[in-house]
Chain A
Amino acid sequence: MDLLWQPLLLSIQLAGVTTIILVVVATPIAWWLSQADSSWKPLVQTTVALPIVLPPTVLGFYLLVVLGPAGALGGWWVKLTGSALTFSFTGLVIASCIYSLPFAVQPLTAAFESLGKQKLEAAWTLGASRMDAFFSVAVPLSIRGYLGAVVLSFAHTLGEFGVVLMVGGNIPGETRVVSIAIYDQVESLNYAAAHQLSALLLVVAFIALFAMFFVNRRWQR
């Protein structure tokens, strides 16, 4: 039973933590991209979008280098905590955040752009500071952008394989997520277990996306 549920729970845990972090991290990036007229903008846009086009193995390889005990971030982490980032859940979370970043930033940027300046100006004239107006007007009016960011980040992290394999390996309960477990079962010709896991992932992904489109439609009215 653990063979079936442990990877799924781990996947959901990883996707959940990653999504929460991404919503927080992507908000200022998306806001800056929607408002900025800076010459840095194309560079930031490109960097954020890279994970969409790069093969996960390329991304995973560089993350392995940076997060490994000899890498810049990984070495600092070892000094700080005494344990390595690679082949750990924490390392997977960091890798997933980078891998899924564009899926959080892009819906939010689109939502902030379509918001325009008018309502914010109205809020300022009513005594709201920039920060206050952002949280009391821009965020609630961009709620569909947030819904998109949450669902896409969650679903994309749930389905990641290459990056996890490179950075996290295959440690039960720590880094063996569903996609890795499926690969494992297929490798050992255990098709029945692979079927069960695949079907589970299919159902979870379907429900998440369906919920998003359903709610989106309701809000449109």
Chain B
Amino acid sequence: MSPGATIQLRYKLQRENFALDIDTELPMHGITAVFGPSGAGKTTLLRCIAGLEDAATGHLVVAGDTWEDSSAGASRSVHERNIGYVFQEPRLFDHLSVRANIEYGQRRRNHSNGTGIDQVIALLGLQQLLARSPSELSGGEAQRVAIARALLCSPRFVLMDEPLASLDQGRRDEILPFLDRLHVESRVPIIYVSHNIDEVCRLCDQLVVIDAGRVVAEGELQDVLVSTAVAGLGGDQAGSVIQGRADSYDAEDDLTRLTFSGGSFWVPGKAGASGAALRIRIRANDVSLCRVKPEQSTILNVVPAVIDKMPFADSASVLVRLLLGSERIVARVTQRSVRELDLKPGDEVFAQIKSVTVRATS
């Protein structure tokens, strides 16, 4: 698949209390998050792409192939669109074994895109489950089988509709590492619907934000997260993501030094081999600002920053966008602090970062 290939889509759908009106272009590489509050139209958009919404009208071009053009009355039916679809529920076929379930799509779309069955079974850790019946699986296991089934039908891209939403936190933590591996090892593009910003920051490369049936922001994850239009959308979980590298590991204190364009951080534990590319997620709530460089603080990570844009977002607290070298992060501070410290764009400050989450991306 050429790196420039895209999914061009334009869909309109009118329901009683809801109107979808989407016109966008999604990249066909990596994982693209479709993020937005419940009821924003994320699931409906995926169903339009899959051809499951008969009432929708629009236009869909996948890497140059026209899949749907309502104005010309042309539409491929669902089974002729080479997609994989992971629904919120596993939707496994109870009368078939796990193996027969994951082979269901493979047998019907025999042209291979190189994703072998053994590879997918290993990737999702299904070796021990193949002979079982779906009724004998836990929720997390069933969803892993559903993901394998979607990957094996040779899709041009995979649509995932909040695949973790129906699971409790424990089961989510069980599946997330598999999705991480999928991100790194699989070449199949994924459109990933979620209303959980943590999941989005962990897994996705591009971000499309939808609200009330319309696209409100789209682009690279790092850029969209700090755009003023949507930075507050994640609520308490709002934050930003920057790219860095593992530098050195201090065995005595069990800390790893990460470097990025604007400085360096210490994170607990061993974050990856030296030189490994890392995605560093920083929640706005974990960042505080000081006029002078704090001395004798328990917080290890203090980096000089420049206030880029402020204030935006909600009531008692405001979001402040900071420049750390060429990287941008978001901090949440109170209105009162802004007034008492007289913070304004262009000011040089120190950002104290209480904690960061790190994930390897290579």
Contact = CB atoms under 8 A, between A and B. Distances in A.
A141 B93 CA distance: 8
- Size band of the interface chain B makes with A: 20 to 34
A118 B83 CA distance: 17
Interface string A117-156: 0110111111111101100110011010000000000000
Contacts of A119: 91, 93
Residue from the set B50, B79, B94, B105 with the largest chain A CB neighbour count within 10 Å: B79
B95 A127 contact: no
Contact of A122 (B87, B95, B108, B109): B87
B306 to A, nearest CB: 48
- Size band of the interface chain A makes with B: 10 to 19
A124 B95 contact: no
Contact of A127 (B50, B52, B109): B109
Contacts of A143: 95
Contact of B52 (A121, A126, A137): A121
B78 A125 contact: yes
B153 A126 contact: yes
B108 A132 contact: yes
Contact of B78 (A118, A121, A140): A121
A118 B84 contact: no
Interface in A98-134: 118-119, 121-130, 132-133
Nearest to B104: A126
Given A121-B78, A122-B85, A132-B108, A127 B153 contact: yes
Contacts of A121: 52, 78, 85, 87, 91
A140 to B, nearest CB: 4
Contacts of B105: 125-127
A128 B104 CA distance: 9
B149 interface: yes
Interface string B142-157: 0000000110010000
Contacts of B81: 125
A129 B108 CA distance: 9
Nearest to A127: B108
Nearest to A141: B95
B84 A125 contact: yes
B108 A125 contact: no
B89 A126 contact: no
Contacts of A118: 87, 89, 91
A125 B89 contact: no
B91 A122 contact: yes
Contact of A124 (B79, B89, B94, B149): B79
Contacts of B93: 119, 122-123, 137, 140-141
Interface string B73-97: 0000111011111010101011100
B87 A123 contact: no
A124 B78 CA distance: 6
A130 to B, nearest CB: 8
Nearest to B51: A124
Nearest to A117: B52
B198 to A, nearest CB: 27
Nearest to A119: B91
Contact of A125 (B50, B94, B95): B50
A129 B109 CA distance: 11
A128 B79 contact: yes
9 contacts: A121-B87, A122-B85, A122-B91, A123-B93, A125-B52, A125-B78, A126-B105, A129-B77, A141-B95
Interface of B: 50, 52, 77-79, 81-85, 87, 89, 91, 93-95, 104-105, 108-109, 149-150, 153
Interface of A: 118-119, 121-130, 132-133, 136-137, 140-141, 143
